[in-house]
Structure 1
C-alpha cells in the first residue's frame, strides 16, 4: 500500500489551470454550462500545445512518472470501487453537483488518488 505523491501531483496538475480558466470565463459568461464548455475548449487548445512541447519530452526522460506506464494495484482497485460508490451516493442524494468547479476538483482529486496508488510496470511499446 504505497502512495506515490509525485505521480498524484503529475496527474492533478492539469486540473488546476482548468479550474482557474473556468472561474475566469465564468466572470464574463454567467451561464455555468457555457462557461464550462468555453473553459474546457480553451484549456484543450493550451493543453495540447503544452503537452507536445513539454510533457512528451519530460515523460520520455522519466517514464516512471507517465500515467500510461502504471498498472492498477489492489489498493487502487479499492479506491476506484469506493469512488464509484461515493459518486453514485452523491448523485442519488443530489449533493453539490450545482457547481462545476467542485465537480472538476473532485474528479481531479479522485483521478490523482487512484493514480497515486498505481505501480510502475515499465514502459509500453
Structure 2
C-alpha cells in the first residue's frame, strides 16, 4: 500500500519540493566555508593574503580584525536559531565581498579576483533570500 500519496507535497514554484533547501544550504555552506577558511588565513596573515591587502592599501593588522569577524560570521551562519545574529553575519559578508570588489576596482589590482568576489556576493544574497523561516527575523507588528 502506498501511503505517500495520502500526504500533500508542497512544491516550490519550480515544481521541486527540495530545491529551496538545497539551494539555501549549498549557498550557505559555500559562503560560510569561504568566510571560515578566509578568516583563518587572514588571522594567520599568510603571505598571499598579506600581499593582496598591502597592494590594496590596507594595513596588515586589518587582516586580524577582518579575519576574526569572518570566522565569527561563518559560525553564525551555520548555527541554528539566532536570526538577529544571522542578519548581522549576512550584512558583514555582503560588506566584505562588495568592499573587496570596490577595493579591487578602485586600485586596479588583481582584477582576476573580481569574478570569485562577485560569485560570493551573489551566493551571500542567495543564501539570505532562500533562508528558511526558522532562520529569519520575526516581523514586528505595525504600530
TM normalised by structure 2 equals: 0.31
Higher relative contact order (CA 8 A, sep 6+): 1
TM normalised by structure 1 equals: 0.34
